[in-house]
Chain A
Amino acid sequence: MPPPEHSAIRRFLLARGNSAIADRVFRALMILCALSIFGIVVLIAWQLIERSQLSWQAFGFNFFWKTYIDPTTGLPSYWDPVNGYFSALPFVYGTLVSSLLSLLLAVPLAIGVAIFLTEMCPGLLRAPLAFLTELLAAIPSIIYGLWAVFVLVPLLRHYVNPFLIKSLGWTGFFDDSNPTGLGFFASAVILAIMILPIISSLTREVMTAVPHSQREAVLALGATRWEMIRMGVLRNARVGIVGGVILGLGRALGETMAVTMVIGNTPEIHRSLLANGASMASVIANEFTEAVTDMHLSALIEIGLALFIVTIIVNAIARLLVWAVTRGAPATQR
């Protein structure tokens, strides 16, 4: 990186005795702080790789998709710390099912909110509503979990689940084997509530970055407001919206506490969305302090490593997409 051009006075000042040394030291310190961010990523990766060696050497790639047969019951079994075999398949499945289902619930709502706030909302309401959705993002996951356990789950148990079983039971995705109200569906609902603000605020950001001339051009051709939004705004912002959705997915994949409290925590795979399950993050939170054998700990850390790698990739893709839209957009520049 070439140093910036300095003026003659600046050069003179920089060359003056102690300030030259102090400046260099200061600069080096600041670079060190900035480089620590790389350091943290490397440190996390190194620690997790080292501590998961035991389980990696014992199971290899089988760790993520092998199904074992329980010798006493003859049923498929995946995760048995007592008999010493570990397969992360049910957790990968639980994570994917709950986060994809939550995206399905959250994305249309988030885009609706963003459209309302940027294109339709009267100016007076805009700031308070935007503040409220941001507040939703500031609530800690433990409070969502608490609310889900005592309010959402009973609600699902008594009203929503019976309705789903009656109307959609024929698909096989909703059966009545689990009367608790916990499970994949409950965690997907709470996840949807949690990732909504992230998706909607990013969508809002890219939508405001669309230049006004685009809207005016479409309106000038006689389009209605919805046609203007669809053709002038959404079409221009779609890459950024996809980025926001992927960022929401990244959040959903790693969300721990709220999911742990409502998913049921059983290492099983069920077709029914109302069944109990477990996710990658929930099994770590739930079993880590109780794990006694080295292999059990190592297997849990390997799940953590997988979660780390997946979220890094997902977040990197999302950031690149959002940046591609907002960088250099006229509306965001001051």
Chain B
Amino acid sequence: MRQEFKTRTRLRGVVDKAATFLAVLSTLLVILPLVAIFIYLIIKGASSLNLDFFTKIPAPVGESGGGMANAIVGSVTLLALASLIGVPVGIGGGVYLAEFGRGTKLANAIRFTADVLNGVPSIVMGLAAYSLIVVPQHHFSAFAGGIALGIMMIPTICRTTEEMLLMVPHAVREAALGLGVPNWRSVISITVKTASPGIITGCMLAFARVAGETAPLIFTALGNDFWSTSLNEPIAALPLQIYVYAISPYDDWHRLAWAGALVLIVLIVLAVSLVRFVTSRGVLKGTS
């Protein structure tokens, strides 16, 4: 009896150690690809980065050199278009959820739909933008790409805005209303302003997410080897250019793809770290 108890206790100890070991091992296994990806990006990307990359447009097939200046400008243009659509609508939706619709059935349904919409594959958004804009217009355009990306930003921004507004203490709203400020004014210049660091970080997160999107751009913005002169024509984008170069058979283009990927990831990591910095400092905890 006593012997049996002892062996059981020892067995339980072994199982406990094994479980700890497996948990540590899986954490290491998960960190490994992340480290590998960053090492490769830095080694392969940094060696191909030069001034030409930022100032020249792609060289014709067979010629070496060239850069991605038009793709960088194109990405910035597309993201600006997307933000123009996604940011106001997303923030407006978040304001409704937090300020007007708290606890109502409609708000719950919208919150749920936003979460579900967040999981819809980006390529489906691209198909919708294609059929809505490209088909009637009979040509690919920067507008179509920007709208596809903008639609993708709305649910993310809406949900983070709501979460940030919920953190604003009631006393702040009551103080504004007590001074006789109309409700709309109090929401805009008191509640939203108090939560603005959080809302901005939410926008940055959505921004970082769509900045790397490729799938919806393939058949909306299409890509362009030259400078685009109008928003109504095909435009180049950094992720799209990386895709085209990565699946091409030329070594020179592979190098450019790595360099483009490095630029893209640096932008995204900067955005995410900024978010981390702002949220961890707890700007919202006080009632500044």
Contact = CB atoms under 8 A, between A and B. Distances in A.
B124 A146 contact: no
Interface in A1-46: 1, 9-10, 13-14, 16, 19, 22-23, 25-27, 29-38, 40-41, 43-44
A250 B106 CA distance: 25
Contacts of B243: 142, 145, 257, 261
A324 interface: no
A110 B132 CA distance: 39
B189 interface: no
Contacts of A50: 131
B257 A146 contact: yes
Interface in A250-296: 250-251, 253-257, 261, 281, 284-285, 288-289
B121 A288 contact: no
Interface stretch (B51-59, B61-69, B91-99): B91-99
**Main SS of chain A's interface residues?**
helix
Contacts of A108: 26
B93 A34 contact: yes
B27 A112 contact: yes
A150 B45 CA distance: 13
Contacts of A141: 212, 214-215
Contacts of B258: 146, 150
Contacts of A255: 121
Among B95, B131, B187, B268, the most chain A Cβ lie within 10 Å of the Cβ of: B131
Contacts of A131: 276
B282 to A, nearest CB: 12
Interface residues of A, number: 93
A225 B30 contact: no
Given A285-B215, A307-B121, A30 B95 contact: yes
Contact of A281 (B13, B27, B215): B215
Contacts of A23: 182-184
Interface stretch (A54-62, A84-92, A210-218, A312-320): A312-320
Among A35, A138, A146, A227, the most chain B Cβ lie within 10 Å of the Cβ of: A146
Contact of A143 (B13, B37, B113): B37
Contact of A250 (B25, B119, B187, B218): B119
Nearest to A319: B115
Contact of A224 (B16, B107, B261): B16
Interface residues of B, number: 98
A304 B26 contact: no
Interface string B4-47: 00000000110110111011111101110110110011001000
Contact of B119 (A196, A288, A311): A311
Contacts of B209: 138
B125 to A, nearest CB: 7
A179 interface: no
Nearest to B125: A44
A140 B213 contact: yes
A254 B211 CA distance: 18
Contact of A14 (B89, B115, B183, B239): B183
Contacts of B132: 43, 47
Interface in A79-138: 108-113, 115-117, 120, 129, 131-136, 138
A276 B242 CA distance: 23
B27 A316 contact: no
A139 interface: yes
Given A34-B96, A142-B243, A44 B20 contact: no
For the complex of A and B, 5 pairs with smallest distance between CB atoms: A140-B212, A254-B121, A33-B92, A112-B26, A19-B182
28 contacts: A9-B178, A13-B177, A13-B180, A19-B183, A23-B184, A31-B96, A33-B93, A34-B97, A34-B110, A43-B132, A44-B128, A109-B29, A131-B276, A138-B208, A138-B209, A141-B214, A141-B215, A143-B264, A145-B246, A146-B246, A147-B41, A149-B246, A250-B119, A254-B121, A254-B122, A254-B123, A288-B130, A318-B119
Interface of A: 1, 9-10, 13-14, 16, 19, 22-23, 25-27, 29-38, 40-41, 43-44, 47-48, 50-51, 108-113, 115-117, 120, 129, 131-136, 138-147, 149-151, 193, 196, 200, 224-227, 229, 247, 250-251, 253-257, 261, 281, 284-285, 288-289, 301, 304, 307-308, 311-312, 314-316, 318-319
Interface of B: 12-13, 15-16, 18-20, 22-27, 29-31, 33-34, 36-37, 40-41, 44, 88-93, 95-97, 99-101, 104-107, 109-110, 112-125, 127-128, 130-132, 135, 151, 154-155, 158, 177-178, 180, 182-185, 187, 208-209, 211-215, 218-219, 222, 239, 242-243, 246-247, 254, 257-258, 261, 264-265, 268-269, 272, 276
